[in-house]
Amino acid sequence: MAQQKKEKKTVKYRLSLLDAQTHEKLWEMRFTKTGFLVTAVSAVVLFALTIFCITAFTPVRTFIPGYPDAHSKRAAILNAMRIDSLEAVITTWHLYSENLRRVIDGQQPLRIDSLIDSRKNAEAKLTDAGEADRQDSILRQAVMEEEQFGLTETGKRNLPIEGLHFFTPLKGIISQGYDPVIHPYIDITAPANSVVAAVLDGTVIFAGWNDEAGYTIQIQHSNDIVSTYKHNQKLLKKTGDKVTAGSPIAMVGNTGSLSTGDHLHFELWHKGEAIDPTKYINF
């Protein structure tokens, strides 16, 4: 007699919650292995979908590091507009400096349309990477040759003092103006510890103490120009330091026997003669 094929029974599981003392059944759930897997996968998918919807369609996404919010996008647009404005200003200053150089050299000034056309042509040439590399190599070779034969200083064009751009050493009030005989310098009053800046690029030739002038610093500039800053509270540079125009060099003070209050005693010398700083610097 043929043995009957036994049907495969479905294994069922039961999860119960019982009272530890009375063993009373509080909650019970019956499930199979297949049902448990389907329920678990569905729960994970539903949880992931919920997290995705919350992240994608609510302001919670702005808390993700690196995600641009509305403020960041607006700032990026404003920065792009500022860059365009700065490029226009740079182009204007380039035209101004080029025309100023041409006027000083006795040449005809450039027209703005010719400058724009020349810059467009230069940019078109530099779009080719090979052309840009070639121009860079030519520039580097020219600089090396100048340094080799010491042509950097000898070939440097000396502008008249009227063509130089001076930085303001200190924003304040001129308490005593320039007089070529009695007072060949100016005094600028400002709060104590205000920053004093260099008017041009140069080298510090003296930085130290003087009984009458207090803490004093002198800077040698090109074109036979020397600037002097006296009665400082503190010096930020020492003798021999190289400084750039607009860089901090001292702090305003009231040092020295000739000082009666917080101020800057500023002198400007050109070719060994004291000159009026207010003719070249806006205070």
Residues 177 and 133 in one domain: no
Q: Are residues 187 and 235 in the same domain?
A: yes
- Can you read off the two tokens belonging to residue 265? 């005693």
CB neighbour list of residue 167: distance below 8 Å, 6 or more residues apart: 197, 198, 199, 200, 245, 246, 281
Residue 4 has pLDDT above 60, yes or no: no
Q: Domain for residue 109, yes or no? A: yes
What's the pLDDT at 128? 57
Phi, psi angle pair for 175, to nearest 5°: -80, -25
The predicted model gives 166-186 an average pLDDT of: 93
pLDDT score of 5 more than 80: no
Report residue 152's pLDDT band, with 50, 70 and 90 as the boundaries. Answer: very low
Q: State whether residue 272 is helix, strand or coil.
A: coil
Do 248 and 198 sit in the same domain of this protein?
yes
Q: Across the chain, what does the average pLDDT equal?
A: 81
Lowest-confidence region among 111-125, 145-159, 256-270: 145-159
- Whether the predicted pLDDT of 137 surpasses 60: yes
Report residue 209 as tokens: 């103490």
Helix (H) or strand (E) run with residue 189 in it: strand 186-189
Question: Is there a single domain that holds both residue 174 and residue 130?
Answer: no
Residue 83 has pLDDT above 90, yes or no: no
What does residue 27 show for φ and ψ, rounded to 5 degrees? -155, 145
Q: According to DSSP H, which parts of the chain are helical?
A: 33-57, 70-104, 112-126, 129-148, 151-154
pLDDT at 160: 79
Strand partners, 173: 189
Q: How many CB atoms lie within 10 A of CB 45?
A: 10
Share of the chain above pLDDT 70, in %: 77
Residue 52, C-beta contacts closer than 8 angstroms, at least 6 positions apart: none
Q: pLDDT tens digits, residue range 193-240?
A: 999 999 999 999 999 999 999 999 999 999 899 999 999 999 999 999
Distance in angstroms (rounded) separating the CA atoms of residues 207 and 235: 7
Q: What is the pLDDT of residue 122?
A: 58
Residue 160 in any domain: the answer is no
Contact 263, 224 (CB under 8 A): no
Instruction: Indicate whether 245 pLDDT > 50.
Output: yes
Based on the domain organization, do 176 and 256 belong to the same domain? Answer: yes
Q: How far apart are CA 91 and CA 85, in angstroms?
A: 10
**Is pLDDT above 60 for 26?**
yes
Are residue 133 and residue 217 in the same domain, yes or no? no
Same-domain pairing of 94 and 180: no
In this structure, are 124 and 189 located in the same domain?
A: no
188 and 143 in a common domain: no
Residue 129 clears pLDDT 50, i.e. is over it = yes
Overall residue count recorded for the chain in this entry = 283
pLDDT confidence of residue 149: 43
Helix (H, G, I), strand (E, B) or coil at 134: helix
Total count of domains within the chain: 3
- Full domain range(s) for residue 252: 166-279
Q: CA 82, CA 91: separation in Å to the nearest integer? A: 14
Question: Of 159 and 243, which is predicted with more confidence?
Answer: 243
User: What CATH number should be reported for the domain holding residue 214?
Assistant: 2.70.70.10
User: pLDDT value at position 112?
Assistant: 58
Are 181 and 264 within one domain? yes
Please check whether residue 58 lies inside any domain of the structure.
no
**What letter does residue 179 receive in the DSSP assignment?**
B
Handedness of CA 168, 171, 173, 175 (dihedral sign): negative
Would residue 161 count as lying in a domain? no
